[in-house]
Structure 1
Amino acid sequence: MTRTLFVHCSPHGVAAHGCQLARELLGHTRWFGKTNTVIERDLTAVPLPPIDSQYASALTGNTAVDDARFVLSERLIGELEASDRLIIALPIHNFTVPAAFKLWVDYVVRIHRSFAATANGKVGLLANRPTAIFVSSGGFHGGEREYSHQPDFLSPYVRQVLATIGIEDIAFHYLQGLTYGEAAVSKALNSVRERLTTVGPWAVSDDTHQLP
């Protein structure tokens, strides 16, 4: 049985284009067969609470894993541990990740639990797994277009964060120009669908953006 964790956080909720594409992928028997179990974490519908002083104190102290202050963190890390694959759908907000996703990161990237600090740097403690990330943006962040000069800090950040906890097999799928009208949206969606068909959802990629 395939178990997939699906994390998404668009303010448009399940109507977001990236979320819809991810759901199409989840329903595709070509990659999942008929026994795919989905663990869904909607960070917009059920927002995570901000990191507080109690949690911060637990992080910096010699605190047991089963301490009550780690309950939410344990639940989120447990969802990762229970999955064979990971799918994330998120928009670019002000050149980087949405605040809702950053909170998820702050709970799952936890010293002594999801990564270890060593003399050679941080080492991930979670198992690697195929990961597909759908990134949506109203403008253009890459390619040959003369107006694609907006910086993208999201892609390298997400790659580094996931690698910190041990997840390195990452495929990025970009939906760009979504504020340029229905024709542009359709073109962007079809471009990603074609990429999923030709190279597959799990083909490890660099941070090069695919344009429609």
Structure 2
Amino acid sequence: MTHLLHLDSSPRDDRSISRTLSKEFIANWKAAHPSDTVTYRDLGHHPVPLIDEPWIAAAYSAPDQHTPEQAAAIRPSNELVDEFLAADRYVFSVPMYNFSIPAGFKAYLDQIVRVGRTFSVEADGSYKGLVTGKKLLIITARGGSYPKDTPYYPYDMQEPYLRLIFGFIGITDVEVIHADNLMGGDDARQQAIATAQSALKVVVSR
């Protein structure tokens, strides 16, 4: 039995393409893998707290040294990290905002990328990811298209960053499926959605 963590990060509701695609994927996955379990978190409608000074003090000190304020500040992060580590696979839907990711999803990453929990600093100063043996599927929705070897590729600070940050904590088995060029007109939009849907069905069948 596999346990999935499913996150949506768009603040939109039914109008969100990324939400729609991830919802369809999870429905198809459950139909194909009925014994698997899914935990769902809606970052777009229920954002996590931003980190602050008490959080930073708590993250870089031993729990038995925490003040009540620091313990309260780090508690949501501990819960999010526990939830994250409990999953075997991840399905994250992430729209592109200003060539990168929504602020709410960045806040989530800040809560789970934790020294001693999801990465460590080795004696020689190098970093070591502690989250191993996991698989990540990222579903994006993007107004434009940013293929490699084109002048538009440098604008894509979404996929490279997500691959980097998850690789940093040890997750290197990452598949990214884009619904892109959504602002290219009705035909291009429908084609992009259909292409993404087909690609997601292939993931389920594998």
Shift of 1:40: 1.0
Which residue in 1 is equivalent to 2:88?
Answer: 84
Unmatched segments (≥5 aa) in structure 1? 204-212
**Which residue in the other structure is 2:53 paired with?**
53
One-letter amino acid matched to 1:196: L
Report the counterpart of residue 137 of structure 2 in structure 1: 132
| SS of equivalent residue, structure 1 residue 156 | helix
Does the alignment pair 1:170 with 2:174? yes
Taking the aligned partners of 1:114 and 1:29, their CA distance within structure 2 comes to 27
User: Percent of pairs identical after alignment?
Assistant: 27
Q: What corresponds to 1:26 in structure 2?
A: 26
The offset of 1:6, in angstroms, is: 0.8
> How far 1:30 moved relative to its partner?
8.0
Give the equivalent residue in structure 2 for 1:108: 112
CA drift of 1:98 comes to: 1.1
How far apart are 1:89 and its partner, in Å?
0.5
TM-score scaled by structure 2?
0.86
TM-score, normalised on structure 1? 0.84
Q: CA deviation at 1:31?
A: 8.1
Residue 81 of structure 1 contacts residue 127 of structure 1 at CA under 8 Å; is this kept in 2? no
Unaligned runs of 5+ in 2: none
CA distance in 2, matches of 1:73, 1:65: 17
Q: 1:130 to 1:32 in 2, by over 3 A?
A: farther
Q: CA deviation at 1:25?
A: 1.3
**3-state SS of paired residue (1:86):** strand
Which one has the bigger helix percentage? 2
3-state SS of paired residue (2:155): coil
Contact 1:142 1:148 in 2 (8 A): yes
How far 1:167 sits from its partner (Å)?
A: 1.2
Deviation by residue 1:19-67 (Cα, 9 ceiling, x = unmatched): 2111111112488511232211111111112211110111233445994
Q: Residues 141-162 of structure 1: CA distance to partner in whole angstroms, max 9, x if unpaired?
A: 2268x78456111111111111
- 1:1-212 correspondence runs (5 A): 1-29=1-29, 32-64=32-64, 67-118=71-122, 119=124, 121-142=126-147, 148=152, 151-198=155-202, 200=203
Secondary structure of the structure 1 residue equivalent to 2:182: coil
Aligned residue pairs, count: 201
